[in-house]
Amino acid sequence: MAWWMYPVLLAAGFGGGLVGSVAGVASLVSYPVLLALGLPPVAANVTNSVALVGSTAGSVAGSRTELEGQGRRIRWLAVAAVAGGIAGSGLLLLAPAESFELIVPWLIALASVAVLLPRRPTEVEHGNSWALTGGVALIGVYGGYFGAAAGVMLLALLLAMTPDSFARGNAMKNVLLGAANAVAALAYAVFGAVHWIAVLPLGLGFFIGGRIGPAIVRRTQPKLLRVLVALLGLGLAANLAWHAYR
């Protein structure tokens, strides 16, 4: 890589980590940069997934206040997310994500709109815990396989099926998505075409941006954040749809 690519990747990681920890669309920033620097789509996808471990570390470190008291729920939902991540990464290694690209924009658009739906401030019924676990597992599969805006999907699910505030739901989203991504990243590190020379600056940027993001969420009105997440998600859906259907 040319020397100037390192600061570009660092900046892309910072922007992706910041947007990812706040809105769950890190790929909106980092993935196009990797493509612009010459990486093929699958290589860019796996390289981005490995570097995203830095975003998880940063966002979890910055969300300790919101994660307090959520240990039990994190444990059983993390198992579902990890199982989904394993299945998704296996699918990607067997069948490249381009085969899925026609339906992805619609999934992202649906999740983006779902973030705006009004909530009922009630506790989750015991029977719904299985639905929540299954939803997390399915999003884990998607996150390990394709990844784009998986955070938006997970946030929409958590806001719909738990009584948590936006900040607490967002913190949980970062942990669960990070768990699924970590497993997928491990598989890619062993079997995938990871461009390691790009991972370090991108991952460092992800960590810094991810660390700052939760502080922004903590100080911003939830309604404004919901609109931001929806707009960014719809923007990514439109961009992916343009590339898929042109």
Q: Decide: 24 and 173 in contact? Cβ < 8 Å.
A: yes
pTM summary value:
0.82
Between CA 226 and CA 165 the distance in angstroms is 11
Please give the pLDDT value at position 125. Answer: 46
The residue extents of the domains of the chain are: 5-245
Tell whether the torsion through CA atoms of 144, 172, 226 and 118 is positive or negative. Answer: positive
Mean pLDDT of 142-150: 76
Please give the pLDDT value at position 96. Answer: 65
Banded pLDDT at 124 (limits 50, 70, 90): very low
- For tokens 């620097």, name the residue: 37
Cα angle: 230, vertex 122, 172; to 5 degrees: 50
Residue predicted with more confidence, 201 or 144: 201
